[in-house]
Structure 1
Amino acid sequence: MAYADDMVVFLRDPSEWDILQNLYSVYAAASNARLNIQKTELISLSGHPWHQWSPIRHITSASWHDKHSPNVVKYLGFPIYCSKAQLRTFWDNCAIKIDRQCQILRERKLSIRGTSLLCNSVILASLWHTLRITPITEANTGIRPIGASIRKFVMPFHPAPSWVTATRPRMQGGLGVIDINSQQLALQIRLACELEANQPPSHSLCNY
């Protein structure tokens, strides 16, 4: 799979590494492309730390990722993880970034309508992209800090209206702030329906 300068290749065992190098050499000679091996990530899709790949890791100095790695690997903005701990770390880092962004934008002294607009279109924009396929629940440590940062950014005053009121449409007296849990369900249901639409005709849960 390839998108712009990001390429993913699936290998079954280390013996296919030399085959890949030969194929890429032919491609590089024809296209003048160059492979930055230092930025290459070797990922165990099962999460198992396969020691058979150790010689290639040492020769190429490429990074290795399995279930024991502390962080996720990102591809096109989506995290590739092998354990729940990696997913929690990913959401914790997202919460920290969103909180910092809220602190920076808070200095602009925006109105409550301005903060709600920025919240939906700027602060949470990258989160909407990730939530299409990456799960986040109330049990995750990430969603609570994110929700707290958003509440504090949109409604920094006391007493403040309830979050239910804040997430209501403006036509109903709310602020129109998009609820994270509701948006996640909407995005994932839409993706599931799109995937199911490409399958052979069968009983569908997405027929409205």
Structure 2
Amino acid sequence: MQQLFSALADPPINPEVPAPSAAPIITPLAVKILAYADDTLVYPHDTQKFHRLQSTITVYMKASSALLNYHKTIATSLSGKPSATRQALLTAHGITAWHGRTFATPLIYLGYPICSNITQRNVAFQKLYDSIRNTIAIYSQRNISISGRVTILNSLIYPKLWHVLRLTTLTKTQLLSLRSLGASFISFLLL
């Protein structure tokens, strides 16, 4: 164990070796895969990387006796633009579901709406607004103090909003309407 610590310690200063003139340049790592439990989001950059991914998945499935649910797999482009070439490649590998910017609803990943256009963002907002409004309506029926309402708003209701806002941008008007929902709940106004 001591060897590990000494290897990690600062090396001795050698007066014959000049000190570096600038800090080393650190390049950011590219995100290629995101995974949480059994939900995975993969970003293959090109056809070659897609084939390498498919090969790796096949080896994993053979080694583990696990199966990939291709019927649950949805492909999309980060730009939202459809591509006949990509769709043909995906279909050849059993991936038949596609989502793009021409769809009215956003793609949902781990509760996050992934929006490719304004219509999708507005649909995601309306769903969020309705969810928060309905939750507030339920708690409004109870005789709760202002302090209790603030606690409920901050710990039970607004976390839905904070979750979505990590990846979704809303307009100022949309944010103000959500704020007014919270204010009406705290001030005992009927919705």
- Provide TM-score, normalisation by structure 2: 0.70
Q: Structure 1's 40 and 116: CA in aligned 2 closer, same or farther, altered over 3 A?
A: same
Q: Which moved more, 1:124-133 or 1:85-94?
A: 124-133
Aligned pair partner of 1:3 in 18, 31, 36: 36
1:122 Cα deviation from its structure 2 partner: 0.6
Aligned pair partner of 1:37 in 49, 65, 70: 70
Aligned pair partner of 1:49 in 82, 90, 94: 82
User: Aligned partners of 2:169, 2:67: CA distance in 1, in Å?
Assistant: 35
Q: Which amino acid aligns with 2:83?
A: W
Structure 1: tracts of 5 or more residues without a match: 159-208
Equivalence for 1:100: 134
1:13 Cα deviation from its structure 2 partner: 4.4
Equivalence for 1:155: 187
Q: Structure 1's 61 and 2: CA in aligned 2 closer, same or farther, altered over 3 A?
A: closer
RMSD of Structure 2 on Structure 1 (CA): 2.4
The reply to whether residue 110 of structure 1 matches residue 144 of structure 2 is yes
How many residues matched?
156
Taking the TM superposition and a 5 Å limit, the aligned residue runs for 1:1-208 are 1-13=34-46, 17-55=50-88, 56-57=90-91, 60=94, 62-139=96-173, 142-157=174-189
User: Aligned partners of 2:57, 2:95: CA distance in 1, in Å?
Assistant: 18
- Provide TM-score, normalisation by structure 1: 0.65
Q: Structure 1's 120 and 37: CA in aligned 2 closer, same or farther, altered over 3 A?
A: same
Q: Which amino acid aligns with 2:168?
A: T
1:14-51 residue CA offsets vs partner (Å, 9 max, x unmatched): 56555433321211122332211122110111121111
Whether the aligned pair in 2 keeps the contact of 1:39 and 1:62 (CA below 8 Å) is no
User: Aligned partners of 1:152, 1:32: CA distance in 2, in Å?
Assistant: 54
Q: Which amino acid aligns with 1:156?
A: F
Structure 2: tracts of 5 or more residues without a match: 1-33
Equivalence for 1:198: none
Q: Which amino acid aligns with 1:3?
A: Y
1:96 Cα deviation from its structure 2 partner: 0.7
Whether the aligned pair in 1 keeps the contact of 2:76 and 2:98 (CA below 8 Å) is yes
Q: Structure 1's 62 and 155: CA in aligned 2 closer, same or farther, altered over 3 A?
A: farther
